Amino acid sequence: MSLHKKLHFAALVLCFGSTVLAQPQSNVIDEVVWVVGDDAILRSDVERRRVEYGSNVTGNPYCVIPEQMAIQKLFLHQAVIDSIDVPDETINMYVEQDINEKVLMAGSREKLEEYMRLPMSLIREEVFDQYKNELTAREVKKSLTKDVKVTPAEVRRHFKDLPEDSLPLIPTQVEVQLLVLQPRIPQEETDRIKAELRGYADRVTSGTTSFATLARLYSEDPGSARQGGEMPYMGKGELDPAFANVAFGLTDPKKVSKVVQSEFGFHIIQLIDKRGDKVMCRHILRRPQVAQADIDTALNHLDSIAEDIRREKVSFEDAVLIVSDDKNTRNNHGILSNTRRDGENTTRFEMRELSSFSPELARVVEGLETGEISKPFQMINTKGATVCAIAKLKNRLKTHRANIAEDFQVLRGIVEEKKKEEVILNWIKEKQKSTYVRINENWRDCDFQYPGWVK
């Protein structure tokens, strides 16, 4: 974003923000408050962040925020040195989510533009720059700490002499097995959905209606429908295989694909652009409706299976292998797998994590005893489809203080994070020594997190 546009954006934020909290220097419209290397931090930059953060800043925001921005500039400078770059398509995924949330809060794109007094293009540009900086700084941190390793001996040593009340509290966790049946979908319903999609394709081809308009009106993919069906650049491995085969086979942006079936439902696809091994396209998703009679049939079938398991005619694990329609758990004895934000794969779910996976499943599991089989229930799976299931509570670990035997991975993560923080701390200290930093005299009276800014 150009400096002129940036100052225009910041000035508007100042107008909105100045009525919220008193400003440190009310007689100055804007000024340079920090300089880090060749980069300036403007007062308006700080004000904009203060308005964004609201009350989520611990301490004096006019100390905390500029220091955070200064640290980010150190990381961004290192990114240039190390040639670390975040692909635009990765940034755009965050940008779209952020813009969608802002639009929802404002009520519409037009209302957001009216509130910000900026066109959407400038709002998007500002959000893009923000995420580019944040994601680049994150990649630099990863690079700086990539060699940090923790041995079991280090974990035991770190927690050996800690009093019990200093150990982290581990919330209740559960391990769950699931047997899933997909209710029957009549051929007439599948044919109806395909005919609808072919009709949409004909309207686009004839020029009657744009693909984007139809996607906004009819697509059942909430993430892309608001964007006119548009998806970010994605590789084959990021897409459903059937969807990917068709999307990567398209060559003419003016044409619409034939109807393709994926695990999510049925689609038509329109190519937007190809870039290397990635493709950007639009799609319209339609899901066949499941009749209540077919749901009831699946639930009754599951009720019989559950009864056979309780009577020990068949084990839960064998029943899963024989009849479950969920390929993700069928070959794992029905055990659900939980991939956490840090990339760790585990079979344990905190109840909040299970609720995010499926609120219906979480409600069922909450009332089960260890080893108990649930009654049949209806749920929405991770693909957005209506399915029926029975669950077995394999294990419940109640809330407890962490211990090496049961929670080694959690404790190892704590020690590893501590070592990474030490690496980053030492790196910042060295950068402070070798980087030119100037702080406006009126902004120096701070208890900084990283002493060493004021030389």
Annotated domain spans of the chain: 3-147+423-443, 173-184+290-401, 187-286
User: What is the predicted pLDDT for the residue at 342?
Assistant: 61
Fold of 187-286: Chitinase A; domain 3 (3.10.50)
Cα separation, 30 vs 240, in Å, equals: 50
Which residue, among 273, 244, 270, has the nearest Cα to 257 in the 3D structure? Answer: 270
Residues in the chain: 455
Largest distance between two CA atoms of the chain: 82
Instruction: Look at residue 341 in the predicted model and tell me its pLDDT.
Output: 64
pLDDT confidence of residue 116: 83
Position 38: which residue type?
D
Q: Is 187-286 in the same CATH topology as 173-184+290-401?
A: yes
Supply the pLDDT for residue 48: 86
Is the Cβ–Cβ distance between 66 and 44 less than 8 Å? no
What does the pLDDT read at residue 247? Answer: 96
Can you read off the two tokens belonging to residue 79?
A: 């990114």
Q: Which class would CATH give 173-184+290-401?
A: alpha beta
Contact predicate 76/137, CB 8 Å: yes
d(CA 239, CA 216): 21
Q: Which pLDDT belongs to residue 15? A: 38
Query: What superfamily in CATH does domain 3-147+423-443 come from?
Result: Porin chaperone SurA, peptide-binding domain (1.10.4030.10)
Which stretches of the chain drop beneath a pLDDT of 50?
1-27
Per-residue pLDDT at 8: 42
Those residues with Cβ within 8 angstroms of residue 178's Cβ, 6 or more apart along the chain or in another chain = 320, 324, 326, 329, 334, 336, 361, 389, 390, 391, 392
Beta-bridge mates of residue 178:
391
